[in-house]
Amino acid sequence: VITMLVMTRYSPMNKPWRNLIIAVVGFGTSIICYGLSKSFYLTLIFLFMEGAFDSISVIIRSTIMQLLTPDEMRGRVSAVNSMFIGSSNEIGAFESGLTAKLMRTVPAVVFGGSMTILIAGITYFKTRELTKLSLQEINNQQA
């Protein structure tokens, strides 16, 4: 419910790339806080925030994919997208387990959140021109 309320304020149509990067950085930050938390209730709050940020990024990515994919390719692109999401979850679970084995659990969680933020930062600086992307304009042109 809170994610839906946030999305009414920060529509995926307005500045989607900026909002996607913010959501990914928020996700990484909440993972770091989760890893460092010693309080059960704070841990629940950080896990809640992690889920909210992840939901926001899913909504934005889905909106971008639906609006920018040609109608005749939408089914194929959605299928490939689903395949990559499913396999990335499996690869991520393997990577997390391996990292936890090598570093111990808490450092592995903090490392994972830090890498998420680092990759989001690199992506932002390498794709700054996408911050000008307006899905509202694209949607209006298609209508």
Helix axes 135-142, 40-68, angle to 10 degrees: 30
Q: How many CB atoms sit inside 10 A of residue 56's CB?
A: 23
Evaluate whether residue 142 is within a structural domain.
Answer: no
Q: Which of 8-17, 22-31, 46-55, 119-128 has the lowest mean pLDDT?
A: 8-17
Which domain does 6 fall in, by range? 2-137
143 vs 85: which has the higher pLDDT? 85
Evaluate whether residue 30 is within a structural domain.
Answer: yes
Q: What is the number of structural domains in the chain?
A: 1
Evaluate whether residue 143 is within a structural domain.
Answer: no
pLDDT at 143: 59
Can you give the pTM of this predicted structure? 0.85
pLDDT, one tens digit per residue, over 84-139 is: 988 998 998 999 999 999 999 999 999 999 999 999 999 999 998 888 877 777 76
pLDDT at 51: 93
Evaluate whether residue 68 is within a structural domain.
Answer: yes
What percentage of the chain has pLDDT greater than the value 70? 94
Evaluate whether residue 20 is within a structural domain.
Answer: yes
pLDDT at 98: 95
Evaluate whether residue 117 is within a structural domain.
Answer: yes
Helix axes 2-9, 40-68, angle to 10 degrees: 50
